[in-house]
Amino acid sequence: MELMKWELGLWLVCFSLVPGLICWEFAFPFQSMYCQLSDACAFQAKLDDLELDLYRHVYGQHLAREVLVSSIIQFTENSTPMKPLVLSFHGWSGTGKSYVTSLLMKNLYRDGMKSFYVHQFVPTLHFPHASQICLYKEQLKTWISGNLSACSRSVFIFDEMDKMHPGLIDAIKSFLGHSHVMYGTNYRKAIFIFISNAGGDQINQVVLKFWKDRKDREEIQLEDLESNISRAVFNNKNSGFWNSDIINEKLIDYFVPFLPLTHKHVKECVRSEMFSRGLEIRNEVITEVVNSMNFFPEQEKLFSQTGCKTVSARLDFSL
Ligand SMILES: *[C@@H]1O[C@H](CO)[C@@H](O)[C@H](O)[C@H]1NC(C)=O
Ligand SMILES: *[C@@H]1O[C@H](CO)[C@@H](O)[C@H](O)[C@H]1NC(C)=O
């Protein structure tokens, strides 16, 4: 434990210099400093590796790749950001939202998703009962401020935002903006990530429209999607962001769209799965797996219903 060593070191220095009670006064202000000292939170942004991982292992997501690489680089290289980085991931299931989150963590913290400083909340697990929203709100605030005073470079991931009770997430509003200085300046180095399927339909429609207009999907720009996504989650009663101040006050820095995956992308997923299992890459197996999957819309059959989510299980079946 890096933290322990620092702590012990400080105390030893402290006691040899100023014995007794004064030492308490002296040592405690340093508590939050441990973390800002380079490696103390096991925070180690490997930005080149992150970029490489997103290029090599994430298929069909040019927007997510561009937005994430530039926003994470800008944010982590700034030692005094003015506000935390707030990202919201949207898209159909199986398009890579959780996978990309784990790649981000892998390249930001020594222990990746398992890091002590990466906090993941799943509504059905952490906040199951609608009747206890008030309690959950208090808990959330206490946890976030507690965790941020232990380490300013903490990450908070809110999974399955579609299943979050509306209103609950607004409890953390004050942590997301610029202006409040209620928790010192520490909270400005945090990263918040929201994940949901909401907005997926809007994204799919835009991609379909590009296809119908015979335009390349890589030509889709963030601006083509951002306002539609934000409107969709704000107006959707089944979204944790329904009527949320977080959307209203524009506290989300980037809505990151995950586009629906086509035959070509699913093939790449199968190929990569075979490669990582050390299997011989056989085209007939790839074709069989892809053909066993469902594609929509009804007529065009362009996009995989489950993205790449079921590729691994279907591969087992085809072998
Ligand atoms: C940090 O957050 C976790 C939930 O992820 C919580 O259990 C823990 O008590 C928090 N730590 C502090 C110091 O508040
Ligand atoms: C997205 O928003 C634009 C206007 O901002 C609108 O014309 C378009 O129909 C919307 N697309 C979807 C799929 O909602």
Going from the Cα of 256 to the center of ligand 1, the distance in angstroms, rounded, reads 27
Give me the percent of the chain exceeding a pLDDT of 90.
Answer: 70
Quick one: pLDDT at residue 238? 82
Q: What is residue 40's predicted lDDT score, i.e. its pLDDT?
A: 62
Tally of structural domains, the chain: 3
Per-residue pLDDT for 2 more than 50? no
Looking at residue 192, which CATH number applies to its domain?
Answer: 3.40.50.300
Mutational test site, ligand 2, from 228, 234, 255, 259, max ligand atoms within 8 Å of CB:
228
Per the structure block, which two tokens stand in for 152? Answer: 């300013």
Instruction: Name the β-bridge partners of 303.
Output: 262, 296
CA distances from 177 to 80, 153, 174, 247, 253 (A): 14, 16, 6, 12, 10
Same domain, yes or no: 167 and 271: no
CA 228 to ligand 2 center in whole angstroms: 6
Q: What distance in angstroms lies between residue 125's CA and the mean position of ligand 1's atoms?
A: 15
Tell me the pLDDT of the chain averaged across its residues: 86
Clarify whether residues 274 and 314 are in a common domain. Answer: yes
Domain contains 64: yes
The pLDDT of residue 151 is: 87
Query: Are 84 and 161 within one domain?
Result: yes
Nearest Cα neighbor of 294 from 261, 259, 258, 257 is 261
Q: Atom 12 (ligand 2): residue with closest C-alpha?
A: 202
User: What's residue 180's pLDDT?
Assistant: 56
- How would residue 181 be classed by pLDDT, with cut points 50, 70 and 90? low
d(CA 150, CA 43): 13
Residue 42 lies in a domain: no
The type of residue at 287 is T
End position of a domain, from candidates 235, 257, 279: 257
Measured CA to CA, the distance from residue 281 to residue 192 in angstroms comes to: 39
Cα 146 to ligand 1 centroid, rounded to whole Å: 6
User: What is the pLDDT, as a whole number, of residue 184?
Assistant: 59
Say yes or no: 130 and 147 in one domain: yes
| Model confidence, pTM | 0.85
Asked if residues 283 and 241 have their Cβ atoms less than 8 Å apart, the reply is no
Asked whether the CA dihedral 42, 44, 49, 54 is positive or negative, the reply is: positive
Q: Are residues 280 and 230 in the same domain?
A: no
pLDDT band at 17 (very low <50, low <70, confident <90, very high): very low
Q: Beta-carbon neighbour count of residue 255 at 10 Å?
A: 24
Ligand 2 atom 4, closest CA: 228
Task: Give residue-wise pLDDT tens across range 229-259.
Answer: 999 989 988 888 998 989 988 999 999 999 9
Pair 86, 190 in one domain? yes
Q: pLDDT per residue over 26-58, tens digit each?
A: 444 444 444 444 446 788 889 999 999 999 999
Condensed to tens digits (0 to 9), the pLDDT of residues 79-105 reads 888 899 999 999 999 999 999 999 999
Each residue of 272-313: pLDDT tens digit?
A: 999 999 999 999 999 999 999 999 999 999 999 999 999 999
Choose which residue among 3, 31, 34, 119 to substitute to test ligand 1 binding: the one with the highest number of ligand atoms within 8 A of its C-beta: 119
Compute the distance between CA of residue 264 and CA of residue 266 in angstroms, rounded to an integer: 6
Residue 20 falls inside a structural domain:
yes
| Ligand number nearest to the C-alpha of 190 | 1
Residues 248, 281 share a domain:
no
pLDDT of residue 20: 36
Cβ–ligand 2 distance for 204 under 6 Å, the answer no
pLDDT at residue 38, as a whole number: 40
Mean local confidence (pLDDT), 147-151: 87
Whether 272 is in the pocket of ligand 2, judged by its Cβ within 6 Å, is no
Sequence-separated (6 or more) residues with CB below 8 Å from residue 209: none
What is the pLDDT confidence band of residue 14, given thresholds at 50, 70 and 90? very low
Distance 174 CA to ligand 1 centre (A): 18
Which ligand places an atom closest to the C-alpha of 117?
A: 1
Co-location of 195 and 225 in the same domain: yes
Q: Which residues form the pocket of ligand 1, taking CB atoms under 6 Å from any ligand atom?
A: 119, 142-143, 146-147, 150
Domain extent at residue 19: 5-37
From the CA atom positions of the chain, what is the Rg in Å? 22
Looking at the structure, do residues 238 and 284 belong to the same domain, yes or no?
no
Same domain? For 21 and 92 the reply is: no
Same domain for 70 and 200?
Answer: yes
Compute the distance between CA of residue 48 and CA of residue 57 in angstroms, rounded to an integer.
Answer: 14
Tell me: pLDDT of 25 over 60: no
